[in-house]
Every structure is written in C-alpha cells, then in structure tokens.
Structure 1
Amino acid sequence: MTLPTHVELVEVGPRDGLQNESSTITTETKLELIQRLANSGLERIEMTSVVSPRWVPQMADHEAVMSSFAGKTSARRYSVLVPNRQGLESAMAQGVREVAVFTAASESFTQRNINASIEQSLRRFEPVMRMADEHGINVRGYVSCALGCPYEGQMDATRVADVSRALWQMGCREISLGDTIGIGTPLAVKRMLEAVLRDVPLEATAVHFHDTYGQALANIYASLQEGVTVIDSAVAGLGGCPYATGASGNVATEDVVYLLNGLGIECGVDLANLVETGNWIAHHLGRDNSAKAARALTSAA
C-alpha cells in the first residue's frame, strides 16, 4: 500500500461550517476568518454561498465576502457555492473563478433540501455548466448522502456512482463525496469509492466527512489508501446537517493536518497557526474548539 505524498485540503468552514449558525456572524468576522485560514497555508477556501437570505440568512453578505477575496490573487483558490445560473452570474460579477453545485445521492434528502428530485437538480445545473464553460469557470460538484441519508438509511454505492458520473459528464471537474450525517465506516468508504472510481477519475475525486460517530479520520485514512488526494474539512470542526438529528460538524481541519503530518503527507498548512485560528473562531461563536488536536496542543502550550 502506497499513500499519496501530497494532499490538497479544501477548507469549507466559512461556508459549510458557518451557514447553519443561529447567531448572526458579522461580515468582518468572516473576512478575518478567511484571511487567517489563508495565512495558515490553506490554498483552497470555500468562502460563501450565493443563495437567497430567506433560505440561508447567514450567507446574506455573500457579495461583500466574494468581492473581498475573489480575483485578488492567484496563490489561493477562493470558491463559492451557487444554486443556479443567477448565482453563477452574481459570483462572476465579483470576480469568482471557481464555483460548486450541490445535489445528493438520496431522493428524499434532495427533495427536502432543495425541493427537487435528483434529476431536476441535475437539469438545473445545465445552464450553469454551459455558462461556466463559456467563461472558463471551474465547477465542483457536491454529492451529499454518499454513505447514508437521514431518511433512507445507508446508501447504495451504485446510486452514488450514478450521480457522480452524471456530474462528471456534465463538466464538473471535481466531485466531492459527502458523508452528510457521518455514519460511514472505512469499509463502506472503500466500497463507495470503488463504485465511483469506475466512472470518475481518481484525480477528480474528493471526500467530505462529518464526524458524528467519530469515524471521519478513519474514513479519510481509508480514502488515502484508495489514492484520494483532495479532502474537505472545516476549521474547529464547524458545521453540521440541520436535516440529520445528532449529526455533528465537519471533520476538523486541525485533526486532518495532524493526521497527515503523522503520515508524512504534505499539505502545506502550519498546524500551530491553524489551531490559533480555530480557537479564535470558536471564541467568537461562544463555544469550544471541537478539534481534538487543537485541544491537546492548546493545553500543552
């Protein structure tokens, strides 16, 4: 077994991590968070989501966030989530060069989350993909419920592969496979990846794990064994799924970096700097940093 020598981390804390927070987070705090994350060495940061404030009030300041970072430097990849062509147009107007679209492998989850079937969600992306292609915009595709659904239980790997293949064939250059409710285990991850990788290139495959059952790092290790080199994570373990009872946040970036350092895998992130950032945003949110590495390193300091 040969593990990768380098891994790309996609920091989703500013978007996926903050979007379900009940208390309003100021634009200034979001901008400082993104800058701190960049300063720690993270090169890919998902900034915000271009959605209506009626549906996601926390992302109401998406234009201000985008305009502060998009197009300002080639050293970082700042991306945003867009639901439709209008969202893409708004992102492009602010200089964004990388976006993501979102669907799921579960019909029930897709209906409750975006009020559409999987097929309808894919059709909604067609004008997004055409416009993105015309303007050289890179598009990432998220597939939620890749291992389990709060309504349908464990997910059939062939369904995940079908949706992933559809997104890839539409033109998504990267497919992020999400364990939205955090029920996955390494064997399930291996089987899911084996199914997806029959149709989607390994280099275009990413994983996105939540840590509800404490399996996220084990699942990341299983993904590394399969050759995956792109991992989503959120500083301080921010986030959670409002549709899944008990679902905890994303795997903490600090814990992922600690794992990668221990495996001798390069990711370009300064762990001490990142821990500081995680503690800082946790303080602003009035909670503890849920990253175990951050707690240990902070206590030892």
Structure 2
Amino acid sequence: MKLIECPRDAMQGLTHFVPTDEKIRYLNALLRVGFDTLDFGSFVSLKAIPQMRDTADVLAGLNLTDTRTKLLAIVANIRGAEQAASFATIDYLGFPLSVSETFQQRNTNKSIGQALADVEQMQKICVQLDKQLVVYLSMGFGNPYGDPYSPELISDFTGKLVDMGVRIIAPSDTVGSSTPEGIETLFRHLLATFPDVEFGAHLHARPGEAPAKVKAAYRAGVRRIDGALRGFGGCPMAADDLTGNLPTEEIIGTLTQLGCDLPINQNAIEQALTLSTSLFG
C-alpha cells in the first residue's frame, strides 16, 4: 500500500502565504512519517497559485538524507515539467488532465486536446530524465458543470494515456462527488481492463465520508491512496466551496482496520499533526 501525502494540495488554496521556512519545517516533519510519496509543491503559474511561488526554495531546504519518501511536484505545462524535471531530487511529475472540458480550461487554460498533447511531451521528458509521470484524471467521478461523464469516459482517457506510456493514473474526485459504490465500480473496471497500470485514488470528502470511500477503493484493489493530514485542502480552481482531501489519519486508521501493515512512524505523525494545527489553524 502506497500512501501519498499531499501538503501542496492542503496549502494551495490558503488565502494567506505560508512563509517558506514554515513550509520547510512542516515538510521535513512529514518526510519522517514513512509516506511513500510527498506531493510537496508545484511549478505552475504564480498568478494562478501564488502559494507555491517558493517551491524551488522549499525543495532546497528539505532533508532527504534519512527518508524513504519520494517527492512529487505538480506541473501544468511543458515549461513547468521541464523545470520540475531538472531537479534530481524530484521523482514524480504530476499533471492534472481533466475529463471535463470546462475544468481543463479553468484549471490550465487549455483544451483537453491541447492537454493531451502536453502529456505526450511530458512523458517524453520524464523518460529522458528518469522521472515518472503521474496523471490525475480530474473530475474523475463527475463534475458540476454539466459536461459529459461516465466510467467509460475514464476508461477511454486511460487507454490514451497507456498508449503514450503513462503507467501511474489517478482518477481524482475533485469536488467530492464520488460515492463508495461509484468508486468501487470504476476501479474494479479499470484494474481489470488495464492490469499493467498503477491506479491511485485521489478522493475528496466531507466530514465522515472518508472511511467508506477508502474501504471502497481498497475492496476494488487500489493500493495507492492520496490524503492530507486533517483533510485540509481542495482545488481552488474547481468550485467556490472547497471539499477537503481525505484526512490521512482516517486513511491510516481505516487501512489498519482492514489489516494493512503500514510503515508509519507514530511519533513522527503526531508531531506532524501538531505542526499542521499551527500551520493551518
């Protein structure tokens, strides 16, 4: 089981700028917990996401000498991908590819067709520089815009990505529209159809919904789940009201109940939870 902690997602929608040294202190605490991957920052438009304008400076302050955790950075275009890939310490580049035309324009100012062309180029950059591309299928469980959606649509997008060589794909519940039944149905189909793909679940939830969603993804065979401590965050480009990330502590509790042996340092996660309170309020 791979746990992906997403402090970038947690911080990006905050109205106040988190000082660089506070970001570094929080991320270094998370690096001691035992997560598989840390979605730590992004190389995107500073105007669109001003909170992440110091990602390169934050990266320089991270202590990576005694951690098993790998780093993932979100990118929104070729320029961002080239910048992120230039750092030896970044293992994964993450790109949000929407299955909703409205949200693709809203999130990256591109059409889906243009975004797919970017993905193809990003995959080539990753291959050249020994990185892995993670494609998040935004609005992967429906959208609030009235754009077409179906599980078959997700499967079609997945097929296109597989043809490009992408092997990590995460359907993303950008606005919290998923249900446990829909989660299990979609992932069972995807895992059976594309056995060579590592599928992740990037789900958002309202208070109390997380355990059922985690159980549904796990039952379907998903072994890569994204979360954020205390459920902070959400996509500021998606809606006026943010729907939070799955609380990592609830993910851990639910997976432990299901019998998963997770390599989590309990003291470290308690320290990170304390820091998160001071950071986010």
TM-score (ref. length: structure 1) = 0.85
SS at match of 2:95: strand
**What is the Cα deviation at residue 101 of structure 1?**
1.2
Aligned 8 A contact 1:202 1:228 in 2: no
Match of 2:131 among 129, 132, 137: 137
2:44 to 41, 44, 51: 51
* Compared CA separation, residues 204 and 117, structure 1 to 2 (3 A): same
**What is aligned with 1:197?**
191
Distance in structure 2 (CA, Å) of the matches to 1:61 and 1:92: 16
Q: CA deviation at 1:139?
A: 1.0
Gaps of 5+ in 1: 1-6, 287-301
Alignment CA distance shift 1:259-1:240 (3 Å): same
Match of 2:256 among 255, 258, 261: 261
**Which runs of structure 1 show a deviation greater than 4 angstroms over 4 or more consecutive aligned residues?**
70-74
> Taking every aligned residue pair, what percent have the same amino acid on both sides?
28
Say whether 1:118 aligns with 2:118. no
The residue aligned with 1:85 is 78
Letter in 1 for 2:229: V
How big is the shift at 1:93? Answer: 2.7
TM-score, structure 2 normalization: 0.91
Whole-Å Cα distance in 2 between the matches of residues 154 and 214 of structure 1? 29
Q: Show the 5 A alignment for 1:202-213.
A: 204-212=198-206
Q: Is the 8 A contact 1:212 1:246 kept in 2?
A: no
2:32 corresponds, among 36, 39, 58, to 39
Q: Write the distance in 2 (CA, Å) between the matches of 1:195 and 1:261.
A: 25
The aligned runs of 1:155-234 (5 Å cut-off) are 155-201=149-195, 204-212=198-206, 214-234=208-228
Q: Distance in 1 between matches of 2:31 and 2:127?
A: 27
Q: In the TM superposition, what is the alpha-carbon distance from 1:25 to its structure 2 partner?
A: 0.3
* CA–CA distance in structure 1, aligned partners of residues 53 and 155 of structure 2: 33
Alignment partner of 1:97 is 2:52: no
CA contact (8 A) 1:168 1:174 kept: no
Map of 1:109 onto structure 2: 103
Secondary structure of 1:209's match? coil
Distance 1:179 1:100 in 2: 15
Distance 1:42 1:204 in 2: 17
Q: CA separation in 2, counterparts of 1:55 and 1:87?
A: 13
1:240 to 229, 234, 238: 234
Backbone CA RMSD of aligned residues: 2.1
Q: What stretches of structure 2 of length at least 5 have no aligned partner? A: none
CA distance in 2, matches of 1:211, 1:250: 6
Per the TM alignment, residue 92 of structure 1 is displaced from its structure 2 partner at its CA by 2.8
Determine if the alignment matches structure 1 residue 27 to structure 2 residue 20: yes
Segment of structure 1 superposing worse, 149-158 or 247-256? 149-158
SS in 1 for 2:201: strand
* Counterpart secondary structure, 1:149: coil
**Aligned match of 1:62:** 55
Report the counterpart of residue 282 of structure 1 in structure 2.
Answer: 277
Q: More deviation in 46-55 or 201-210?
A: 201-210
Secondary structure of the corresponding residue to residue 16 of structure 2:
coil
Do 1:41 and 1:268's aligned partners in 2 also have CA atoms closer than 8 Å?
A: yes
The answer to whether the Cα contact below 8 Å between 2:43 and 2:73 also exists between their aligned partners in 1 is yes
Q: 1:250 maps to what in 2? A: 245
Identify if the C-alpha distance between structure 1 residues 109 and 92 changes in structure 2 by more than 3 Å, giving closer, same or farther: closer
